[in-house]
Amino acid sequence: MATNLEFIDSFEVTSAVSSFTLDNVFSDKYDVYCLSAQGWSGSNATAQLGYFRYLDSTGTVITAAEYDVASLVFRTNLSFVEIRSTSNTVINYALGFYKVDVAPEQTSAISYIYNPYDSSSYTFGISQATGMNDGFGRGYKAISIHKSAETVRGFEMSNPSGNFTSGKMTVFGVK
C-alpha cells in the first residue's frame, strides 16, 4: 500500500454540533483516502452512537438502505462483541464511532475509504479506533461497504442523540 498522505480538508468542532459535512473531499485524483478522527466527545451523560453517511455526486446525503457493516468491539470490562448489520441507512459502527461519550472521555480512529469516486464500484471502508466509553476502555475494528456503484464525493457525520462537543476529522488522499 502507498505511504504518502496528501492533505485534502479537515473539520474541527469548536462549539457543539449535531452533525457536520465534508463535501467535495473525494475526487478522481485518488483511489484511497485516509480519515483521521481525533479526540471525539459527545454531549450526553451516556455514550451514544455516531452515524456516518456518504454524499452522492450532487452532495446529497445517501440515506437509502445501502450500507453493510461488520465490527469487533473490544471492551476492558466485558467480553468482546461482534456486530454485523446489513441494509442500513447509516454506517453506525464503523470509524470507531460505536460510542461517543462525554469529555474527558474520547474516541479516536483511523479509517481508509476505497474507490469512493468510482461510479462503477462499491465504496469500501476499514477502520480501527480506541477510546473511553462509560468509564471503560474500548477498541474497535470495522469494515463497511456502500452497496451502490455510484460516485461518492464526501460524507456526513451526525450524532442523533446529542451533539459532538470536541473532535477533529482530517481527510487525506493516499498516493
Which of the two residues, 119 and 130, has the higher pLDDT score? 119
Helix count (H) and strand count (E) of the chain? 0, 11
pLDDT (tens digit, 9 = 90+) per residue, 94-128?
555 555 666 677 888 899 999 999 999 999 999 99
3-class secondary structure, 132: strand
First to last CA, the chain: 9
Model confidence at 21, in pLDDT bands (50, 70, 90)? very high
Domain boundaries, the chain: 5-118+132-174
Q: What is the pTM of this model?
A: 0.90
Matching CATH number, 5-118+132-174, of 2.60.120, 1.10.3470, 1.10.760, 1.10.150:
2.60.120
Distance CA 37, CA 95 (A): 8
